[in-house]
Structure 1
Amino acid sequence: MSVPKPEYPRPDFDRSERWLTLNGDWGFEPEGGEPTTIVVPFAWETAASGVRRTWLERAVYRRSVTVPPAWDGRRVILSFGAVHHVARVLLGGVVVGVHTGGYTSFEFDVTELVTPGEPVELVVEVDAPADKREIPHGKQRSIPRDDYDGVSFTPTSGIWQSVWLEARGRSYVESAAIRGDSLTGFAVSGRVVGDAPAGAAVVVTVDGRETTIAADADGRFDGTVTVDAPRLWSPADPHLYAIEFRVGDGEAADRVVATAGLRSIEVRGEQLFLNGRRLYLRGVLDQGYWPDSGLTAPDDASLVRDLDLAEELGFNLVRKHLKFEEPRWLHAADRMGMLVWAEPACPSRFTPDAASAFEEQLPELVRRDGNHPSIVVWGLYNEEWGLDWDIPGSQERAEAAVHAYDTMRALDDSRPIVENSGWAHVRSDLVDWHYYDEDPAAWASNVAALASGEKESFEVKLGPDFVVDKSFYGSADFPRTGVPILNSEFGAGFTSLERAWHVRWQTQEIRRHDRFAGYVYTELTDVEHEMAGLLDADRRRKDWGGLNPADSNAETVLVVDIVPQRAGADIPIPTSPLGVDVRVSHHGDAPVDGILHAAWSAAGSPLPAADEAPDARADVSAAPFAVTEPVTVTVPPPPGAARLHLWLEADGRCVARTFVDAAVIERPNRRGARQG
């Protein structure tokens, strides 16, 4: 049987010259059950693990490990991608260490406990409490239930990311932070550990240029390396630099190759800038779940494919929701130029211990993932989860959100931070909001009022009989202007056809307002009972009713001045010439000058062929980041139900398109409804 997920887990901090995967079959002893085997690295609740046990709280993993003889004389490191929730690790019966935190990576230096060429037993004792309310668990279901059970999923317990051994030098670079915000070179800092860290010479090589930085008495080093002819990282040109760190000489030297990019992300007033150029975020929320393997991707191809799917759907950012995703996914995002909003898992109840456990994740998040140029936003709490939905009513909870922000800012000052995604901001670099509404007219009017500042709050349905008003702001002191505002969750519709219909109309209403700095559609794929994805749980496309979501998420989109009525019947069938007002929202660097075309086609039909004459056309000129005034195109009435295609041609190609469906608008069937 082949080893699952055999790839080196850290291509962004590469020591793959000498490593050994420990994925595969392990002995497994569930508390109160018969010993069996489990497939690592899949959670014991999943089919992929071969165990499929839910609400098991304790288990022991065992396997034999043999360090390759060729590693003799080097330090040996045992690494874990993630284990939920407490892991006690023993090697040859000796306790190596204990780690708490179900999403954070960790490692142990086991050099003194192994003899190259000789087998030794590795044991991992795992405690995964069913009551997760006061520990960071994201969308894992808890018993007792928490307030978020309706949007929670099968738990992920035990070893759920890769386990591996690697050989390093006798003195080695344990970690390195690399920041390319200057756009001319890299600020590097880190720590040497091992036999002789004090005063160690760390040789940093970029593009053939060597810079030597001396470590201090504690093994810490800090310096800068310049780059000739800097090439910036961006979605259009995701250039990565390989940065080698070397300690020592010859065969015994420690060598690790990190990747990073020259990239800056800034907040200027109410706008975002990437490398000094205006940035608009067109994002999608991704929870990183798979039907048979839970939070763990079944294989590397599946992990990376989700990024390709997001790009195909027109998005330039993925908000990875309440989960530290595998470094291989982040490395793939770096390579393809996909922007990332990264965030940790939250607890679901507020206590001082829960807030402390939440913040304990943050140093590891920054240490492991901070070098990725693709990450442009750090998220922290989500919708006051772990703050009892009560920042406005609780000074203590508000202070917890502020403290989390300040903690993250001290760890990384290079990216915008959102302290409480979606609601009630008290200290944040972005004002983001989560708003769901099934009524197109209410959606349009409320989005307009939120954009203008006329409204600061919106309805949130927290349960069948529990509707509250949530605000952008959790404090009277938070500035009402001068901070970027963006949506970070929206979407509506019961059927896949309705959801696609709302994609078309809801996204255009966000794009109508230049004040917003972006949006995040919810979501990429279905997850268990949550059927909100553009794709189903197996990553198959749904019935989009003729919509290509990439058209709604493009750099240039058409905004139609219509309030639609029903999916499949945006407007009644016109019986006289129809004038349609259309605006253009364009987020490119240069203006777009083109011709807007309008043409009727059969109901549900694709865009007319290029050689077909349109029914109407109009000249359009769109400046970057400024929605145009409306242009009117007038078309004759169709003979019956039909689809009005609207598309913008510039430089001989179609740069934007949408459509309006004209059909009989039937009254809802309410026969037999209870009266009174």
Structure 2
Amino acid sequence: MTSFSKIVSSKWTGHRNALLSLVCCAIASPLLAQQPLKTLLVGVDHRTVTSLDGNWHYLVDQPPARALYAPDGKVNDKTYALNTHPNIDSGPHNAEYDFATAPTLKVPGDWNTQDPTLFRYEGVIWYQRDFGFEPKPNTRTFLHIGAANYKSFVWVNQKRICDHEGGFTPFDCEVTAALKPGNNFVVIAVDSTREVDGIPSVGIDWFNYGGLTRDVSLVTVPMQFIDDYDIHLKHGSTFSAADATTLTGYVHVVGATAGTPVTLRIPEAGVDTTLKTDADGRAPFEVKASKLELWSHETPKLYKVELASGSGDQQDKLTDDIGFRDIRVDGTRILLNGKAIFLQGVNEHAEAPYRTGRVCTDEDVKNIFGFLKDMNANFVRLAHYPHDERMEREADRDGIMIWSEIPLWQHISFDKPEVYAKATYMLNEMIRRDRDKASVILWSVSNETPNNPTRTQFLTNLANEARRLDPTRPITSAIIGPHAKGNEMVENDPLTNALDVVGQNEYVGWYEGRPEDADNIKWTLPQKPILISEFGAEAKQGNHGGKDQRWTEEQQVNVYEHQFVMINKIPQVRGLIPWILMDFRSPTRNIPKLQDGFNRKGLISEDGKKKQAFYLFQKTYKEHSVGKAE
């Protein structure tokens, strides 16, 4: 089988756009390079599914992952994947394992916080679960995995089904041919090992939680089924009242012949129309709604959208809850439904409040959004990777706007075409999953990457790929630097030329200079909307002292107050995104008693206790005293 790295040129030259068109239709990871782009189901959380969440048996594959990887590095299909059992009487000897009597882990969930012996483990864990199934004629069944960090290898009833690379986006494996009536089993090997050419790479400032971290389910559909759709407000060159009642997009039906009817209904908006697929199974449309209330922070209106294709027992039906709004850039302004807005936000890692570990439950999400609403925020940056889909769904309902990004963070192998291919595929998975979420207003291609021509070309092409996939949203990235020269800060990173909105990370008063130095800094920034995408200081909750005493709540407030003075002098700032809502685990933060393995820049401690800085932002956002929309 041919690997993706052999398909593309081994030299990463200036002709990267040719690579762009290639990776859009090929699997980006060497794990999946052998096959065309697989089915990725949209709206699974709105379908009737068979949940496989719950307790899964697990076994640890000790380094160097003897059960998963053969000596030549290839995946071994003959060990734990077979799910054999030791025979105490006679018969062949198995590989000295037994899932049936092995301990269990909860899925979804990371393994690090469930078993103390696995807290710092990075490597391979084998998951196994039995399930009953009764196949239905003329249907197809997929195993849907919301996310697994980082590489996944899937077997059903001893048959290798699929592989996936990437820790934060969903994937679907067709299991139709492997299933049988009655008892079945699935084995999934998840490898959380960090790799130099992975995304992210080896050096990350957050905890590398491993495992099946999001929901797992079986999805059964007819032979012809809806796998993808995009339904959004028409996005013209300017926002107009006429566009505000026009919906456009497409519905895609797998296996459909040309002319297959597809119905689109939005009863509350007066939309009831029949579409026809083309030869590729795609049914484009443009329809007028009789009435349409646009989604916003103040009025997060969602409409029940009904889709159907086929008829009788071969009819595929699903519903979704979608809000319609227009987001665009005009000069240095960000316009929502034609009105200039200022983003009062905060960064957030997918660290579960109170219990820690990966966010994976409704309660986790409820707690996070409770903090956001209490803070008077209208925006959240989901750092530094796509979060659980529950986050976007809750944001849709609550009117919280979202920045979503893929995990291109600092130490990436930007010179390697196979890494660019992985990034493109992750971007496709993120955008495809969340394209119809009104809350998502920005796609981000990276965070804090080194300023050099190779990186700039890589990310410029990636930004253009994002625009090709979704021309309705602005593209951004968080840029680090420059360092102050005297009281001057000049942002001249050429990546800003590829962005619609510029995210500016800076830590004046913490990593650089004193808090009061911020008062006199003069910024030179692009004439684009600027979001101060990271700023802040560390403070241990409950640690008090003078305003200049580091690691105290008082000094954290002092840093922010001087930041506000500086930010109010930058006319094109259109949003505040302090780092970060909650303290989060990071193995690089090792000052005893102050950090203890946590990044302490949170406005709230990991156990939900609010620091003084939280109340500063609560008051600032209520009074709208920092920054302006235009």
Normalising by the smaller structure, the TM-score range is 0.7 to 0.9
**What's 1:550 paired with?**
618
Per-residue CA deviation, residues 262-316 of structure 1 (Å, 9 max, x unaligned), is 2111111111110000111111010111378755225311223212211211221
SS of 1:399's equivalent in the other structure is: helix
Matches within 5 A, 1:491-506: 491-492=536-537, 494-506=551-563
Matches within 5 A, 1:557-568: 557=625
- Range that drifts further, 506-515 or 405-414: 506-515
Q: Distance in 1 between matches of 2:295 and 2:470?
A: 19
Task: Indicate conservation of the 8 Å contact 1:135/1:358, yes or no.
Answer: no
Matches within 5 A, 1:47-446: 47-48=113-114, 52-67=118-133, 74-116=139-181, 118-129=182-193, 131-137=194-200, 142=202, 146=203, 148=204, 152-180=205-233, 181=235, 182-194=243-255, 196-207=256-267, 209-290=271-352, 296-297=358-359, 299-346=361-408, 348-350=411-413, 351-352=415-416, 353-384=418-449, 389=450, 391=451, 394-423=452-481, 424-426=493-495, 427-438=498-509, 439-446=514-521
Query: Structure 1 residues 441, 230: closer, same or farther in 2, change over 3 A?
Result: same
Report the CA distance between 1:73 and its aligned residue: 5.0
Greater strand proportion: 1
Query: Structure 1 residues 37, 291: closer, same or farther in 2, change over 3 A?
Result: farther
Report the CA distance between 1:250 and its aligned residue: 3.5
**What's 1:655 paired with?**
none
Per-residue CA deviation, residues 528-548 of structure 1 (Å, 9 max, x unaligned), is 220011100122212459x44
**What's 1:533 paired with?**
602
- Range that drifts further, 394-403 or 512-521: 512-521
**What's 1:488 paired with?**
533
Q: Distance in 2 between matches of 1:241 and 1:511?
A: 38
Q: Distance in 2 between matches of 1:51 and 1:66?
A: 32
Query: Structure 1 residues 47, 311: closer, same or farther in 2, change over 3 A?
Result: same
Task: Report the residue type matching 2:112 in the other structure.
Answer: T
Q: Distance in 2 between matches of 1:512 and 1:554?
A: 20
Task: Report the residue type matching 2:440 in the other structure.
Answer: I
SS of 1:378's equivalent in the other structure is: strand
Task: Indicate conservation of the 8 Å contact 2:343/2:378, yes or no.
Answer: yes
Query: Structure 1 residues 15, 535: closer, same or farther in 2, change over 3 A?
Result: closer
Task: Indicate conservation of the 8 Å contact 2:47/2:318, yes or no.
Answer: no
Per-residue CA deviation, residues 493-532 of structure 1 (Å, 9 max, x unaligned), is 5222322333344235423543311221111000122001
Unaligned runs of 5+ in 1: 1-9, 457-479, 560-584, 588-624, 626-676
Query: Structure 1 residues 128, 279: closer, same or farther in 2, change over 3 A?
Result: same
Task: Indicate conservation of the 8 Å contact 1:78/1:109, yes or no.
Answer: yes
TM-score by length of 2: 0.74
Task: Indicate conservation of the 8 Å contact 1:185/1:262, yes or no.
Answer: no
**What's 1:603 paired with?**
none
Per-residue CA deviation, residues 427-474 of structure 1 (Å, 9 max, x unaligned), is 11122211112223311211xx11xx3xx5xxxxxxxxxxxxxxxxxx
**What's 1:29 paired with?**
59
Task: Report the residue type matching 1:538 in the other structure.
Answer: D
- Range that drifts further, 259-268 or 181-190: 181-190
Q: Which has the higher contact order (CA 8 A, sep 6+)?
A: 2
Query: Structure 1 residues 550, 22: closer, same or farther in 2, change over 3 A?
Result: same
SS of 1:436's equivalent in the other structure is: coil
Report the CA distance between 1:209 and its aligned residue: 3.0
Unaligned runs of 5+ in 2: 1-39, 64-96, 236-242, 482-492, 539-550, 586-597
Q: Distance in 2 between matches of 1:286 and 1:513?
A: 24
Per-residue CA deviation, residues 588-624 of structure 1 (Å, 9 max, x unaligned), is xxxxxxxxxxxxxxxxxxxxxxxxxxxxxxxxxxxxx
SS of 1:304's equivalent in the other structure is: helix
Task: Indicate conservation of the 8 Å contact 1:170/1:254, yes or no.
Answer: no
Largest Rg, 1 or 2: 1
Q: Distance in 2 between matches of 1:413 and 1:293?
A: 39
TM-score by length of 1: 0.69
- Range that drifts further, 338-347 or 272-281: 338-347
Per-residue CA deviation, residues 626-675 of structure 1 (Å, 9 max, x unaligned), is xxxxxxxxxxxxxxxxxxxxxxxxxxxxxxxxxxxxxxxxxxxxxxxxxx
Report the CA distance between 1:43 and its aligned residue: 5.2
Q: Distance in 2 between matches of 1:484 and 1:305?
A: 31
**What's 1:524 paired with?**
581
Greater helix proportion: 2
Query: Structure 1 residues 408, 243: closer, same or farther in 2, change over 3 A?
Result: same
Q: Distance in 1 between matches of 2:308 and 2:117?
A: 43
Task: Indicate conservation of the 8 Å contact 1:80/1:163, yes or no.
Answer: yes
**What's 1:671 paired with?**
none
